[in-house]
Each structure stands twice: as structure tokens, then as C-alpha cells.
Structure 1
Amino acid sequence: MIKISKTDVLWNYIAQFFSLAAGLFTLPLILKMLTVEEIALNYIFLTVSSLVLLFDFGFSPQFSRNVSYVYGGAQKLKKEGIEDASSGEVVINYRLIATLVKVGQYVYLRLALLVLLVMLTVGSLYIYKVTDGFHSVAYSLPIWILFSLSTAFTIYYEYYNFLLTGKGAIKETKIALLASRIAYIGLTFLFLYIGWGLIGVVLANFIAPFVNRMLCYRFLFTEEFRSQLRPYNISKEEISATFDIIWYNAKKLGLVFVGGYAITKFSMFLAGLYLSNAEVASYGLMMQLVNILSAVATTFFATFQPKFAALRVEDDQQGFIRLFSFSMVIFYILFVLGGCILLFGGNVALGYIRSNAFLPDKLILCLYIIVVLLESNHSHFATAIISKNNIPFVKPALLSGKGIAIGSFIVLKYTSWGILGLVLVQGFCQVVYNNWKWPLVILKEFKLTMFQFVHIGVQETYYKLKSVFK
């Protein structure tokens, strides 16, 4: 049975802090010591990296969710819906766990090789274009090759994290992440101070994840876990059948991710082609800082995702809505507070560190914060829908992504709106449907209004705080 303790929540916040701090602590040095061209290329690298992760095509979250179902007591996996756990003590099907381990190994090796191939071919052509034939940034080709290898290795070992997260081992997963982020911070500072520039940032990003993978392996493949899996010899037929079950919904989720990428990231590709380096750096900086804000606000919610799946298996409706509303209220509070700090103090802080890039003006930044708040809100409600192993929002996500991609191209190609146009297109395409539709689905399922939902969350927050300060 999956149990999320206060220690798990604490470790999640500590790890998330250092994960985000890795960006925040190194950001002043990056903004100060890299040229505008290098800063712009660094943001393009990050965008390309998030693009190739789409090759996962929804498999990873679906894989982790199915691990949670098994640890929650499900004795078999289903393409749609979930098998309710039998009443009484939860019995874990370790043959099914062993099969999932083999599926993870099988899928992620092939995925990593495919990603590496695409990055070194198609990706290299794009980098050639945006760096004026690899000339605008020194050593841009070897930097790109190193970044491609780093991304492939990260993908290959990713199934360790999803197996740990799926079984509810939040503390162990976050300890590994924490160690990796500390290594990244130290290496980035070292390489930048000795004058290695962008190649130093990429090299730190290459080395640090190996710390994460080493610790995840030790936490996952304990002697007890090995002994539980040892009796089972998993056949190719079992691997294939289990993969087919996971892939049934994963491919739908993958299409959602493609739409999501077009919604949140594709505009950066277009910005690299149509805007100046200074504008690309400003837009990329805004995206990075607001995404950090969203990640901080989402940390509490993300901690309980394995528990959401387990509560669905147990058919505990009241427990689910209380936990979900509680985590969403925490998200709202943190996002609004962080948004105000970023809006009124962001450029002040950047000026203090003598940054070579700054955030757009307050109107654009405020609009973007609101757009991301609404997107994150409906994404969390969509996660609640997915916890039932149903994915009804493939077509809307693709249509929204297509609309944003086309709209972004039009405003960059035929208007002078620049960054403001990108933000307006993104917000409009989301508010017409996704922003309100998926929260409404969950509210209807539990027969609640939005006010009642928030009220439940506020009550839960009050009770939790009261118990802490007793």
C-alpha cells in the first residue's frame, strides 16, 4: 500500500528547492558571464531538449501510474479504467512488478538511441541555422553534441525514477535528485569561473545526472527487492502484452504532450528564427522564471500523484477529493504569492546582479503569469482525470497546440507584436476551451462548484495546520 508521509513531503520540498535553486543559483552567473548569443542559445538548447522528450510519447507517466496501481493492490493491469483492490490487506503482485521493470529497460534503451539519432541529425541542422553555420557561438557544434549525449543518457536511466515514484518512494527519489542538483550547482560554478562559458554549463549538465542514476539504482534494487523479483523469469510475451496495455493510453497521453509542447515551447523555436537575440533571451528568461514558479507551486501536488492513483484503486472518493482540493489550494497560494514577487521584484533583482538579459515589461509579464496559472490549473485537474486511467482530452490538446503554433507564426511573421503577440496567442487558445473544460469535468464528477471545491481545500489546509501546531 502506498503511504505518503510528512517526511516524503519534506524531502520533496527540499529536493525541489535545490532542483530549482540549481537554476536560480547558477542563473546570475550565467546571465553575467555568458554573452547574449550564448544565453539565447542556452534557452534554445533547453527548448530542443524538452522537444526530444516528446519521443517518450506519454509512456513515462503512464508507466509510473501503472506501477502505483500494482503497489496499490491491483492484480492485473487494464487498458482503460482500473481494477479495484480486494478488500483487506493489500497484496502486491511481484510478478507484475518484475514485468514492469523489464518493460522499462526495453523501452528506455530504444528511446534513448532514437533521441540521440534525431538530435545529432535534425537537431544539428536547426542549431546550424540559428548559430549562422555554428559561427555566432564558439564551439557550438561540440557543445551541441555533448548536450545530445547528456539528453540521451538522462532518458535511458529515467525508468529508475518512475519505478521509485510509482511505488511511493518519494524520499529516496528526492534524495537522489538533491545530490544531483548539488553536483550540478558546484560543477557549473567551477566551470564558469575557470572561463569555459556555455560548454561548462553543458558539461555540468552532462555529469550531474549520473549521480542521480547511481543513487536511484541503489535505492531501487535493494537486496530485498531483488529477492522479491528473483523467482520470476519474465517472457517476451509478457513484456509485449504489458507494453501493449501501457501503450494503449500512453499514445493518447503522448498526443496530449505534443499539444502541450506546442502550447508552451514551440514559440521559442519560432522566436529563435524571427526575434533578435536580446528578445529571445528576454522571452526565454521569462519562460524559465515563470516555469520555476509553477514548479515550486506544484511541488506539493506532485508529491501526492502516486497516492491519487492508489485512492482511485481503493475507490476512496472522499479521500481523493479532500487530498486533491487540499493540494490545489496550496498550489493557488504559492503561485499567486510567487507571481507577485516576480512581477514587482524580478527586474530589480536582475539589475542588482548586472544581468545581460532582462524580463519583458510588466504588462507582458503579468499576462504570461496569468496564462501559466490557468494552464497549470487545468493541467492539474486533467491529472485528476488521468488518475482513473482515462484520457478524454487528446483532440482538444492537439487543436490548442495547432492553434498556438499557427497563431505564433502569424504574429511573428506578419505583425510587430513580438513577445506580447506570443503571450496573447497562447492565452486565447487555452481560455476558449481547456482552461474551463477539465476543471468542470472533475467538479461534475464530485458534484461540486468551484467555490465548494476551494472551500474543502481551505478546510483541509486549516485542519492540517492546526494538527501541526497543536
Structure 2
Amino acid sequence: MFRSIGFGVLARLTSLGSNVIIIPLVISKLSSSDFSLWMLLVSLYSLVTIFDFGFSATISRYYSYAYSGVKYESFIRGEFSSAGDNATDKKLLANIDAVNNRIFTLLLILSIGVMTGIYLYYTGFIEIELTEAQNYSWLLFSIAIIFTLMSVRSNGILHGSGKVSKIYVNTIFSNIIFLFLSVSMIFFDLGIMALAISRLISAISLLTFNIIDQKEIAKDFYHCRTSKVCPIIIREITRNALKLGVGGLGNFLANRTTIYLLASYVVLNEIAGVSFVINISLIILSSCLIILNNNLPLIISFRAGEDYTALKNQCVKVLFYSISSYSLTFSLFVLLAPSFLKVLDSDIVLPSLGVILLCFTIFLIELIQAISVAYISTSNRLPFVKYQIFFGFTFVISCLLLNYFESANLETILVAQLFSQCIYNAWKWPLVAWSDIKTKGGLIEIRS
């Protein structure tokens, strides 16, 4: 557990370190138009999670079922218990793997269409004037996004088979490759092309590493592979993934559009401080969620084996370590941030303590909700999806109304976000998860 968590944190640190090192170089070496385009292209990278639309997480869960001993015949009947037999059904693994390949082929075709549409929108409708180098850079970034999505296809079997550390190790090497190449080529005055080429090569390297690890695992059931996939498996995976994808879209609207809305309704120089706090909060949140991601295969295994005492202990342990890590790290950030900004001689001014506490609360609620929703998902129940999308739109619409009545500012937008969370999702799903855990019996313990 702690080995994988360590690799996960290191993967996040190498990603953060790359940005810290590259940004000063980019500011000094790129023209203003190149820098603006680079920021736009970097923001487009977040589309990978939208293109995935919940399939990698869903398929990962079904790989975990297969590795936990669930049999092919039981699976197509909708039964996900190993019934005490933990032997892996290779026929089921082969079918899940075939579905994984088929689905991600369709997702790749869709993503190519979307990326083409975005390019045509900016260059045709918005009529952004791009130089030849900028056009090539856009093309290379778009291809890098496609390769990154292709590498996500391998995450399902790596995560589901308990090889989570391999995902993080591959990500670390990819981040290092990007950092080394981009810094080297920026000094050769290649401009934005340096970043585009570096991003493409790092994406190709990540894909290559993931494919090698995937093939190493898949060779155990390669002889069972078939072109004819059970339609029940396709329907089961697609149905649950689409629900998760819609929920992910709702979560994106509720939790990831804050900076975009602040930039739309508040003067830019007034949101630098809160943007800094939000970005650091997201880094802390994603680092703490590594604890959950590393324990999900074990939680699924306990549920499949109907070991509810172990299931309760593991879930409470994940919750305890996640909240403790988040609270401690955020507190250290609040204490050290002023000195850090002063040493860097930065113009960024931290927001008031009240705004910082709002950010702390918003992302703490998101952490608890993410753990609760992940636990509920292990039972193949996704009752939270429609509420996530509804309250995601509630937050966006509330900000539009605040702007209409000329009341949109830093504090009101954050309060609107907190309010949209607390109406329902913040308490409902932790309560559902806790009720489910309690009804399965067994004494709850926290052990290191």
C-alpha cells in the first residue's frame, strides 16, 4: 500500500516540479501570443478525462472482479461474488480485455473528431490568427492528447490487477522525459514547438511503457482471447461507464469550473491569490486520493469475497488516512505559503483567511464524497450520477444568476459552490456508504 502511495505522490511531484521549472523559462523565452496559445493547449489536456467518460474506471473495476475470482458464468448472470473460489477465470478476463480494446477504439475516433472541431472553432469561428509554427504546435499537442488517451486504455488492467505502482512509475518517467526535452529545446529557441514536441514524445513514451506492462499481464490469458465478445458484458460495462461519465461531467461542472467562472466574472488580478490556493488544494486533493486508488482493488476483492469485516476496516482506514493527510498538508501550506511567496518575490497576494477556509472546506467535502462514491460504485450501484450532473449545472446556473444581478465576486462564487455541494451530495452519499458498511456486520478498527 505505502509503496504504491509513495510512487503516486512522486508522480504528482514530478508533474508539479515540471511546471515549476518550465513556467519561468516559458515566460522569458516565448512571445505573448505563444504563451497564450500554450496556456490554451495545456487546458485542453484536461479533456482526456472527459474523453475517457468513466470507461477506464469502470473497466478497472471489472478486471478487479475477475482477478478476485468472479466467474464468467456468474458475471453474465449479474452475480459478482467469488463464492469462496478465488481462482481467476481467464475467459472472463479475455472478454473484458476485448471490450476494453473495442470501446477505446471508438473513444479515440470520437476524440479525434472533437479535437478537430475545437481547432476549427478557434481558427474558423473565433478566427484566431496562428503562425505556421503555432499551427504545427497545435497539431502536435492534439496528437499528444490522442496518445495520452490511448495510454489510459492500459490503466484498466494495470489498476484492476493491482499493478497500480506501474501506472505511477510510467507517469514519473514520462514527466521526467517531458521536463528534460522541453528545457533543452527551449534553450535552443524553438519556442512553443519545443513544448509541443516534448509533450508528444512524453505521451508516446507513456503509451509505450503502459503497453509493455499491459502485454506482460495479458499474456496469462492471451490464449483465451476471442473476437466474439459476450454482448451482456458490453452492455454491463457500457451502462455503468456512461453513468459514471455523466457523473464525472457533473463533478467537473461542480468542482473544476471555479477558476473559469472566476476569470469570467472577476478582474484577473484579483483572482491570482485564490487561483493559487485552488491549484494547490487540487494537488493536495489528488495526492490524498492516491490512498483511495491504491486500495480500491483490495476493497473490491473483500466485497467479492463477502469479507465484510475486512471491508469495513479497509474503508475506514482509507477515510482516516485520507482526511488526516489532507488536513495536515493543507495546514502546512497555509503556514508556509506566505514565506514561500516572499522568497520568490511574487506579486501574488493570498486571499483572506475566510476565503482560504472556504477552499479548505470545499475540497474536503469533495474528498469525502469521492471516497463515498467510489465505495458505492464497487457494488455496481450508481445512484449518485443524476444528482451530480444536476447540482453541477446548479452551480453554473447560480453563478450566471449572480452575474446577472451584478453580485458575482470571489466570495459569492465560492459560497455558491459550497452551497451547491451541501444541498445534497455532501451529506447524502457519505451517509449511504456508511449505512451500507454498518449493515454488513463486524467491528470497525483502524490499524496501521
- Same fold, judged at TM 0.5 (above): yes
Give yes or no for contact 2:94–2:226 (8 Å, CA) kept in 1: yes
Instruction: Name the CA distance, whole Å, in 1 between partners of 2:255 and 2:89.
Output: 39
Amino acid at match of 1:188: S
Instruction: Name the CA distance, whole Å, in 2 between partners of 1:19 and 1:359.
Output: 23
**Which residue of structure 2 aligns with residue 288 of structure 1?**
279
Instruction: Name the CA distance, whole Å, in 1 between partners of 2:52 and 2:251.
Output: 14
**Which residue of structure 2 aligns with residue 219 of structure 1?**
213
Relative to structure 2, which stretch is displaced further, 369-378 or 22-31? 22-31
SS of 1:447's equivalent? helix
Deviation at 1:340, TM superposition (A): 2.0
SS of 1:428's equivalent? helix
Deviation at 1:256, TM superposition (A): 0.5
Give yes or no for contact 1:64–1:163 (8 Å, CA) kept in 2: yes
CA-based RMSD of the aligned residues comes to: 3.3
Give yes or no for contact 1:63–1:246 (8 Å, CA) kept in 2: yes
Give yes or no for contact 1:79–1:249 (8 Å, CA) kept in 2: no
Quickly say closer, same or farther: Cα 1:272–1:311, change in 2 above 3 A. same
**Which residue of structure 2 aligns with residue 110 of structure 1?**
106
Deviation at 1:67, TM superposition (A): 0.4
Deviation at 1:416, TM superposition (A): 5.3
Deviation at 1:430, TM superposition (A): 0.1
**Which residue of structure 2 aligns with residue 207 of structure 1?**
201
**Which residue of structure 1 aligns with residue 63 of structure 2?**
67
**Which residue of structure 1 aligns with residue 150 of structure 2?**
156
Give yes or no for contact 2:309–2:444 (8 Å, CA) kept in 1: no
**Which residue of structure 1 aligns with residue 221 of structure 2?**
229
Give yes or no for contact 1:81–1:389 (8 Å, CA) kept in 2: no
Deviation at 1:13, TM superposition (A): 3.8
Deviations 1:295-327 (A, max 9, x none): 122222221111111111011111112111112
Unpaired segments ≥5 residues, structure 1: 465-470
**Which residue of structure 2 aligns with residue 317 of structure 1?**
308
1:92-241 equivalent positions in 2, closer than 5 A:
92-122=88-118, 124-125=120-121, 133-134=127-128, 141-196=135-190, 198-222=192-216, 225-226=218-219, 228-238=220-230, 240-241=231-232
Instruction: Name the CA distance, whole Å, in 1 between partners of 2:348 and 2:178.
Output: 22
Instruction: Name the CA distance, whole Å, in 1 between partners of 2:32 and 2:353.
Output: 22
**Which residue of structure 2 aligns with residue 302 of structure 1?**
293
Amino acid at match of 2:160: G
Quickly say closer, same or farther: Cα 1:435–1:137, change in 2 above 3 A. farther
**Which residue of structure 2 aligns with residue 84 of structure 1?**
81
Instruction: Name the CA distance, whole Å, in 2 between partners of 1:26 and 1:263.
Output: 30
Quickly say closer, same or farther: Cα 1:377–1:198, change in 2 above 3 A. farther
Deviation at 1:274, TM superposition (A): 4.6
Instruction: Name the CA distance, whole Å, in 2 between partners of 1:318 and 1:365.
Output: 38
Give yes or no for contact 1:82–1:313 (8 Å, CA) kept in 2: no
Aligned residues with identical type, % of pairs: 21
- Confirm or deny that 1:264 pairs with 2:255: yes
Amino acid at match of 1:426: Q
Unpaired segments ≥5 residues, structure 2: none
Residues paired across the two proteins, number: 445
**Which residue of structure 1 aligns with residue 373 of structure 2?**
382
Give yes or no for contact 2:285–2:326 (8 Å, CA) kept in 1: yes
Deviation at 1:115, TM superposition (A): 1.1
1:429-444 equivalent positions in 2, closer than 5 A:
429-444=420-435
Deviation at 1:360, TM superposition (A): 4.4
Deviation at 1:184, TM superposition (A): 2.1
Quickly say closer, same or farther: Cα 1:191–1:333, change in 2 above 3 A. farther
SS of 1:255's equivalent? helix
Give yes or no for contact 2:63–2:161 (8 Å, CA) kept in 1: yes
Deviations 1:219-262 (A, max 9, x none): 2212x742x33432413343x44221101211111111111111
SS of 2:223's equivalent? coil
Deviations 1:264-313 (A, max 9, x none): 22344445555555457656544322111111222222211111111110
**Which residue of structure 1 aligns with residue 419 of structure 2?**
428
Instruction: Name the CA distance, whole Å, in 1 between partners of 2:303 and 2:106.
Output: 32
**Which residue of structure 2 aligns with residue 468 of structure 1?**
none
Quickly say closer, same or farther: Cα 1:265–1:196, change in 2 above 3 A. farther
Quickly say closer, same or farther: Cα 1:91–1:375, change in 2 above 3 A. same
Deviation at 1:356, TM superposition (A): 6.8
Deviation at 1:122, TM superposition (A): 3.4
Deviation at 1:116, TM superposition (A): 2.0
Deviation at 1:263, TM superposition (A): 0.8
Give yes or no for contact 1:43–1:284 (8 Å, CA) kept in 2: no
Give yes or no for contact 1:343–1:362 (8 Å, CA) kept in 2: no
Give yes or no for contact 1:134–1:141 (8 Å, CA) kept in 2: no
Give yes or no for contact 1:411–1:417 (8 Å, CA) kept in 2: yes
**Which residue of structure 1 aligns with residue 343 of structure 2?**
352
Amino acid at match of 1:68: S
TM-score for the superposition, normalised by structure 2: 0.87
